[in-house]
Structure 1
């Protein structure tokens, strides 16, 4: 394995960063599996001023914790270093964490750079979501659409099964009038499939 060129970065997305529609033009997305990390609904924060409808709104985003033996699907993203400041701003309540070489295995068998990282929720925000910090349905839709694009129905099922917190963090129904700034439009079929999957894990919903 070789290091990245000076002008490139390589990071693992396990949530919204899996969805290519949320990434800058020119990025390369490589589907695969990461060992040693567990995905969870434990990242509470409030939207910053100037961030549209998200300003001051309490939400719960996805995070990950280290867990030996755990394997999660996601996407390794090859991007230009010039986009790193904007990426750090997007992931403002996360910190970059280096990944162990070989912990990510691409589906395509492509050789990966040695220098890779992911974003982990900072300790002060690493709390389970609640009614004051719910999961935005528009955010979950965006994430799950990304998994569906890469792996189809199997990807959706994997995401739901390997993410902790569905039974304890409520979902705010904002699909029709989204708070999430990178919200996407789902087909009726995909929306119904996602809703059925979340029913299977007894997801609870809020209406505001």
Structure 2
């Protein structure tokens, strides 16, 4: 009997933010990431949604020992845990795999900002696992960059914020400039420590 696995496509790609091992690079087919602003929290969530066509996203899979999902479900509060069979990986067996996704909501469409400290953690994870090409694929396979960025690097609001290298910071800043994302000092947003997903 094998433990079930999760597929992480955002902050869970950053192995410094969780204790689940061993992790393996994997690809989820038929999905795209998106930043989702809802009334659930004052800052945007990174989620994923199924789409038509040949879309795919990079991520990691890792086991959930004994199918004890409680801690991970708590971390992913606001998301639904969904079974998926659309993950390609290098394991020699096919465990049950789940992906966390926020279902569409009537209050979608607000302009809640993306926390820069949250995005930094995601970029750090993708750079470490997939290199700069993987960071490029992350930005290109993620939608809704029209939401503004709340620049909280000097006082991170994201609870799993990490120390960032100059290379990591520069890479994130390069992509935000290339995508013409609006940056707002966090002090102007009114966000506090309850904002982070």
Structure 1 residues not aligned, in runs of 5+: 48-57
Give, in angstroms, the shift of residue 79 of structure 1: 2.6
Runs of 4+ more than 6 Å apart: none
Give the conservation status (yes or no) of the 8 Å contact 2:83–2:98: yes
Task: For 2:66 and 2:184, locate their aligned partners in 1 and report how far apart those are by CA, in whole Å.
Answer: 39
Instruction: Give the equivalent residue in structure 2 for 1:144.
Output: 123
Give the conservation status (yes or no) of the 8 Å contact 1:45–1:60: no
| CA 104–59 in structure 1, closer or farther in 2 if over 3 Å, else same | same
What SS does the aligned partner of 2:156 have? coil
User: Normalising by the residue count of structure 1, what TM-score does the alignment of the two structures yield?
Assistant: 0.82
Alignment pair present for 1:65 and 2:49: yes
Structure 2 residues not aligned, in runs of 5+: 189-197
Instruction: Give the equivalent residue in structure 1 for 2:5.
Output: 10
Task: For 1:181 and 1:125, locate their aligned partners in 2 and report how far apart those are by CA, in whole Å.
Answer: 27
Q: After superposition, what is the alpha-carbon deviation per residue over 1:47-91, rounded to whole angstroms, capped at 9, x for unaligned?
A: 5xxxxxxxxxx1101111111321111111223136511111111
Instruction: Give the equivalent residue in structure 2 for 1:44.
Output: 38
| Deviating more after overlay: 9-18 vs 117-126 | 117-126
Q: How does 1:87-98 map to 2 (within 5 A)?
A: 87-98=72-83
CA RMSD of aligned residues (A): 1.8
User: Normalising by the residue count of structure 2, what TM-score does the alignment of the two structures yield?
Assistant: 0.86
| CA 195–29 in structure 1, closer or farther in 2 if over 3 Å, else same | same
